Amino acid sequence: MGKRIKTIIVGIAGLLVGAWLMTIFTAQPQKAAFQWPVVQVAKRVAPSVVVVLNNRIEGNREQMKGMGSGVILNRQGDIVTNYHVVQGADSLTVILSNGRRFRARVVGVDPPTDLAVIRIHADNLVPIQFARSAHIEPGQLVVAIGNSLGLTHTVTVGVISAKDRVMYRDGWEYHLIQTDAAINPGNSGGPLVNDAGELIGINSSKIAQAGIEGIGFAIPSDTVQYVVTQLLHYGRVRRPWIGATLQPMPNRSLGMLVVAVTPGGPAARSGLKPGDMITSINGQPVHRLRDVIRVLERTAVGREIRVGVVRGSETLQVSLRLQESPPASKQQAS
């Protein structure tokens, strides 16, 4: 009898050991999978990503003519997307990650950055968290989420390939993040996030190079925050304007040459003249147009800037009060 009980105990112990070993070997791959940061990033970010439908009226019927993505900015229902996603729409529909549908209205658009803000009336929204795109580095892990080719909440993974790529399209200059994460039509307006699930860019397939694999572009989050703030406050982006056409000198270390001055504009009122050479703005040396733009982007319309000028043998300091840039059709100088 004792021998029989001993045999039973040994058998039960064997079953328990076997079950324990099976648990280890079957659970380990699952545990390892959930340690991959993209899984948690996708879960964290998904509620902040929406589908944006561009609807057009044809005859008496409303039809969906385009699809893109968007990112929830706040609990008030503001959503950022690409301008080309909403361009030409007769109406807009937003679909949340839980499937709820809402009509949206346009708050403001900014074609030069391909950004737009739209608004819905909904509750329990989950805003995305922003990170500074100025702090990103090439090689950093990134995740893109969007409605790629109509497939909602598609997740793609890559790295930052470059921090500040300058691209020209449709007459606009874009300063972009380059990534090898797949960005396809439908991804436009969706987020590019870091490994903490924080927004570092808004994807734009419009700016991508057709037929080229492994190269995608996103609008940096620092640009997105600046544009979004302007659109929410004014319905447009109020860009500062100096009212002068500038070009680099052959020797760029000298500064920027004033080629023309708009009559009645800020430069003309400050006394700047064609032939003057601008060497600095607010104490920052300027050698190319990008240097001028970088200073102006940090200065509000209506503020004064100090312009260092060389006129013949004279060195001058000129005070110039910035105006809002007029529509492109009315500008006679940059």
Render pLDDT for 146-184 as a digit per residue (tens, 0 to 9).
988 778 889 999 999 999 888 776 656 778 999 999 888
pLDDT in tens, 56-77: 998 889 999 999 999 999 999 9
Is 84 among the catalytic positions? yes
pTM for this predicted structure:
0.78
Question: What is the CATH superfamily name and number for domain 51-119?
Answer: Trypsin-like serine proteases (2.40.10.10)
Helix (H) or strand (E) holding 28: helix 2-35
Bridge partners (DSSP) of residue 285 are 280
* CB atoms closer than 10 angstroms to residue 315: 11
Do 51-119 and 240-330 come out as alike in CATH topology? no
Which residue among 78, 110, 114, 276 is the active-site one?
A: 114
Which residue among 48, 148, 161, 188 is the active-site one?
A: 188
Question: What is the CATH superfamily name and number for domain 240-330?
Answer: PDZ domain (2.30.42.10)
Token couple for 188: 């436009």
DSSP 236-251: S---EE--EEEEE-SS
Which residue among 84, 110, 161, 270 is the active-site one?
A: 84
Is 114 among the catalytic positions? yes
Give the sign of the dihedral formed by CA 73, CA 68, CA 167, CA 192. positive
Domain residue limits, the chain? 2-35, 51-119, 240-330
φ and ψ at 10, to 5 degrees? -60, -40
